Chain A
Amino acid sequence: MKPEESATTGADLLVKALIDEDVEVIFGYPGGAVLPIYDSLFKQNRLRHILVRHEQAAVHAAEGYARSTGKVGVVLVTSGPGATNAVTGLTDALMDSIPVVCLTGQVPTHLIGNDAFQEADTTGITRPCTKHNYLVKAVENLARTVHEAFYVARSGRPGPVVIDLPKDVLMNKHDYTAPPKVAVEHKSYRPQTKPDPKKIAQAIEMIAHAKRPIFYAGGGIINSGPKASKLLAQFVHMTGYPITNTLMGLGSFPASDKQFLGMLGMHGTYEANLAMHGCDVMINIGARFDDRITGNLTKFSPGSKKIHVDIDPSSINKNVRVDLAVVGDAGLVLEEMIKLWKAKQPKVDLKALKAWWAEIEKWRGRNCLAYKPNKETIKPQYALERLYHHIKDKDHYITTEVGQHQMWAAQFLKFEQPNRWMTSGGLGTMGYGFPAAMGVQIAHPDALVIDVAGEASIMMNIQELSTVAQYQLPVKIFILNNHYMGMVRQWQELLHGGRYSESYSESLPDFVKLADAFGAVGLRCHEPDKLDGVIQEMIKIRKPVVVDVLVDEAENCFPMIPSGAAHNEMLLGPDDKAGKVSDEGMVLV
């Protein structure tokens, strides 16, 4: 066959390349610059396109899809506003290391730089909010670029990758380049996944000699794949040591396991934070010493030797100086650690370990998540406890928006498996949870997918009700409605003398009618004794459901490490008065 006969348009090449990358679903929104791609999509039936109602939601949906499946999420948006609307989602994916490939349309190459209609400097704008980005200037580079983009997005520390596609490139013709059969090394990008055996040996030595150890595991375990979670559980059980999870790491270790101390950090459990503060050996696997975790850095776990396992060398010694750095994939590192532990059969100081557990049990005995139940008003914690009671035996996935409800969800819902918990950890994006839940539901059509939301957050991507209605995605939106941007209100109460500046949710819609208007089902509940019934009804309905749960407006999220404080300076409840927050603390977010 002559090349001219076999040659296809850039748009067709793109679709072919996506299929070869095992893409099944694209979340997108059409526009002028990407019309050729939409035309190619129209002519095939391998790729499913989900039409969102805002490009930000497309990226969050792709994130939810990616995080719940381990695959790369794919987004398709047009030039200019399509691309700029995607920026928040891309930044979110970058902060939480979610593999996403975002295809953006661009004006034709000869118009780039001319301030053409719907032109934006997409590669310029997205450079700091992607792992990498490409502008494809010639059709002959298109297929190869797509394959490289998928490799970059999913390998090493995963992240979002943008491919900017000028319209003329999409219309021009060329032969297709299939992805390489055998993985070829990228010319310059070669992430280290296999750990250095010497470091593993040193780590095992430190772990074996610990007297007050703690495992601190994060999203890196989830990103490594489900096997890493199994290995983590195996290793933690072999050692008998306690373990805590970061927000992003929830589900990497079974929450019901007695060695699990719950989440750590600003709204983490008393036992997890005090164990972090008092440990002598900290084993960080796939977490990055984020400021929500460490609190005051100068007072962070002062007496411990720290081991840090991370696939990204730039995460090491960024915030906290560690004693031993192991660069590599969390799963591969755990595999090596288990192997060496089995071979060496080290004698753990059982007496010290017993004393350490006794201390931890004492902290655990404080029951730091306790709250005062109320017969008249629904406490948000109670709502989540009841929610968990009804979903725990069902195949379920949870997403959240950002704020108090997110922290309560992290505290009161229990995660036994990885890839079941989707939340915006790093960027803290209100409006993340609902579109993310759509992405999860697309990937798992028969599962129960619930977005735990606040009434303020849900308003940020509420337009997606139209999307779930169109595709009949039975996503449940469980709104803990306290009529406030709750976390803002909580900080204003604790730090700004109770001056609730602009944090009241004024003029809220009637969520039940709103759901109805979009073709979803709306439910409302304000009495504690009716809550169970409403939750059961929500679960039963095989349609999108919005549940407006009217909760206590004044409830605050505890425990809490106030700004600038250390792990051992936690507030356990409303009766715990914070000392005056320092000036340094006041400037912290």
Chain B
Amino acid sequence: MEIQSHTISVLVANEPGILARVVGLFSGRGYNIESLTVAETDARQSLSRITIVTKGTPMIIEQIKAQLDRLVPVYRVRDLTVEGPHIERELALVKVKGTGEKRVEALRLADVFRAKVIDAKADSFVFEVTGNSDKVQTFIGLMEALGLVDVGRTGIVAMSRGGEAL
């Protein structure tokens, strides 16, 4: 059976231990987590949104969704990959150290990728780059030759296109 990558959005009650429940479910049942993001999205109702990118056969993906939905503090589970077009974004902070031509080239490429300089020293930059994972990965790849020293990535956040809420 074909292994597919799926982006799943999960709306959960923001209560202690909820992330452990979700992560424990993945490790306990041997599912993959490619990327995971989580933060409170509705303080009034105390809701968090978890975005998980996972891999598996269609049967496993179906299981993952059913198992997530079974957790008591889970409100909704949506498979964005299946349910029509959606947008994925990731943010990375990329630290590049170097001087001279390499430094200029890094700055030039950052411009091409619309990465922002958010910290600058005489011999280093920290860039903030946003986009889909491919773009972020490509940018990081290019920086490797130009003095890449540190990377931090948020993991993917995603949302369906159009007016519908999760």
Binds B, one of A208-216, A313-321, A387-395, A397-405: A313-321
Q: Which residues of B contact A131 (CB under 8 A)?
A: 72
Is A188 a contact of B28 with CB atoms below 8 Å? no
- Cα distance A131–B71 in the bound complex, in angstroms: 8
Closest residue of A by beta carbon distance from B75: A188
Kindly identify, within residues 68 to 86 of chain B, every residue whose CB is under 8 Å from any CB belonging to chain A: 69-75
User: Which listed segment binds B: A35-43, A122-130, A527-535, A569-577?
Assistant: A122-130
Q: How far is the CA of A509 from the CA of B36 in the complex (A)?
A: 55
> What CA separation (Å) do A152 and B24 show in the bound complex?
20
**Contact call A312/B70, Cβ cutoff below 8 A:** yes
Is B67 in contact with A314, judged by CB distance below 8 angstroms? yes
Most interface-central of B17, B69, B70, B71 (chain A CB within 10 A): B70
A152 and B72 in contact (CB under 8 A), knowing A127-B24, A128-B24?
A: yes
Contacting residues, chain A, for B67 (C-beta < 8 A): 314
Instruction: Tell me the complex Cα distance, A124–B19, Å.
Output: 12
> When A188-B13, A189-B72, A313-B70 are in contact, do A127 and B20 touch as well, CB less than 8 Å?
yes
Q: Which of B1-50 contact A (CB under 8 A)?
A: 12-13, 16-17, 20-21, 24-25, 28
How many residues of chain B are within 8 Å of chain A by beta carbon?
A: 21
Complex contact B75–A135 (CB within 8 A): no
- With a cutoff of 8 Å between Cβ atoms, the chain B residues found around residue A540 in the complex are none
- Nearest CB in chain B: distance from A43 CB, A: 32
A128 to B22, CA, bound (A): 10
List the one stretch of B58-66, B96-104, B114-122, B146-154 in contact with chain A. B58-66
Q: How far is the CA of A317 from the CA of B70 in the complex (A)?
A: 15
Find the B residue at minimum CB distance from A188.
B75
- Residue in A124, A128, A188, A316 whose Cβ sees the most chain B Cβ within 10 Å: A188
Residues of A near B75 (CB, < 8 A) are 187-188
Chain A residues 293 to 327 lying within 8 A of chain B, measured CB to CB, are 312-314, 316-318, 321
Residues of chain A within 8 A of B59, CB atoms compared: 317, 321
Chain A residues within 8 Å of B73, by CB: 188-189
- Asked if A132 CB lies within 8 Å of chain B CBs, one says yes
Chain B residue numbers with a CB within 8 Å of A127 are 17, 20-21, 24
Rounded to whole Å, the gap between the CB of B97 and the closest CB of chain A is 39
* Smallest CB gap from B21: residue in A: A127
Q: How far is the CA of A131 from the CA of B67 in the complex (A)?
A: 11
**Residue in chain A with minimal CB distance to B45:** A187
Give Cα A318–Cα B72 distance, bound, in whole angstroms.
20
Q: How many positions in chain A have a CB within 8 Å of any CB in the partner chain?
A: 19
In Å, the complex CA distance between A316 and B12 comes to 23
Q: Cβ of B24: which chain A residues have Cβ within 8 Å of it?
A: 127-128
Contacts of A189 in B (CB 8 A): 72-73
In the bound complex, residues from chain A placing their C-beta under 8 Å from that of B74 are: 188
Number of A-B contacts (CB under 8 A): 43
CA distance A123 to B24 in the complex (A): 12
Instruction: State the CA gap A152–B69 with chains docked (Å).
Output: 14
Q: Are A313 and B16 in contact (CB under 8 A)?
A: no
Q: In whole angstroms, how far apart are the Cα atoms of A321 and B28 in the complex? A: 22
User: In the complex, what residue of chain B is closest to A316 when comparing beta carbons?
Assistant: B66
Shortest distance from the beta carbon of B31 to any chain A beta carbon, whole Å: 12
- Give Cα A353–Cα B12 distance, bound, in whole angstroms: 50
Contact A188 B72 (CB under 8 A): yes
A449 to B16: give the CA distance in the assembly, Å: 43
Cα–Cα, bound, A187→B71 (Å): 12
Residue in chain B with minimal CB distance to A327: B66
CB <8 Å contact, A313 and B66: yes
A111-131 toward B: CB 8 Å interface, digit per residue (1/0)?
Answer: 000000000000110011001
Q: Which residues of B contact A152 (CB under 8 A)?
A: 72
Contact A314 B69, beta carbon cutoff 8 Å: yes
Q: From residue A248, how far is it (CB to closest CB) to chain B in Å?
A: 19
Q: Which of chain A's residues have a CB closer than 8 A to the CB of B70?
A: 312-314
Cβ-defined contact, A123 with B13, below 8 A: no
Q: What is the 8 Å Cβ interface bit string for chain A, positions 165-204, against chain B (1 contact, 0 not)?
A: 0000000000000000000001111000000000000000
- Complex CA gap A314/B71 in Å reads 11
Contacts of B17 in A (CB 8 A): 123-124, 127, 135
> In the complex, what residues of B have CB within 8 A of residue A186's CB?
72
Cα distance A537–B75 when bound, in Å?
Answer: 57
- A132 CB contacts on chain B under 8 angstroms: 71-72
Q: Separation in Å of the B37 CB from the closest CB of chain A?
A: 20
Shortest distance from the beta carbon of A109 to any chain B beta carbon, whole Å:
12
Pair A318/B63 contact, Cβ less than 8 Å: yes
Do B69 and A313 touch (CB < 8 A)? yes
Q: Is the CB of A124 within 8 A of B20?
A: yes
Given A124-B20, A127-B21, A314 contacting B72 (CB threshold 8 A): no
Taking CB atoms, residues of chain A closer than 8 Å to B66 are 313-314, 316, 318
**In chain B, what residue has the closest Cβ to A313?**
B66
Using an 8 Å CB-CB cutoff, how does the interface string of A85-124 with B read, 1 for contact, 0 for none?
Answer: 0000000000000000000000000000000000000011
Q: Mark B99-141, 1 if CB is under 8 A from A, else 0.
A: 0000000000000000000000000000000000000000000
A312 CB to closest chain B CB (Å) equals 7
Contacts of B71 in A (CB 8 A): 132
Task: Considering the complex, give the chain B residue whose CB is closest to the CB of A319.
Answer: B59
Cα A187 to Cα B72 with chains together (Å): 9
Tell me whether A317 and B63 are in contact (CB under 8 A): yes
Contacting residues, chain B, for A123 (C-beta < 8 A): 17
CB of B38 to closest CB in A, whole Å = 16
- The answer to whether B28 touches A128, judged by C-beta atoms less than 8 angstroms apart, is yes
CB nearest to B29 among chain A residues: A128
User: What are 26 residue pairs bridging A and B, where the CB atoms are less than 8 Å apart in the complex?
Assistant: A124-B17, A124-B20, A127-B20, A127-B21, A128-B24, A128-B28, A131-B72, A132-B71, A132-B72, A135-B17, A186-B72, A188-B12, A188-B13, A188-B72, A188-B74, A189-B72, A189-B73, A314-B66, A314-B67, A314-B69, A314-B70, A317-B59, A317-B62, A317-B63, A318-B66, A321-B59
Q: What 13 new A-B contacts, CB under 8 Å, besides A128-B25, A188-B13, A317-B62? A: A123-B17, A128-B24, A128-B28, A135-B16, A187-B75, A189-B73, A313-B66, A313-B69, A313-B70, A314-B67, A314-B70, A316-B66, A317-B59
Listed from nearest, the 8 A-B pairs whose CB atoms lie closest are A314-B66, A132-B72, A189-B72, A188-B75, A313-B66, A314-B67, A128-B28, A314-B70
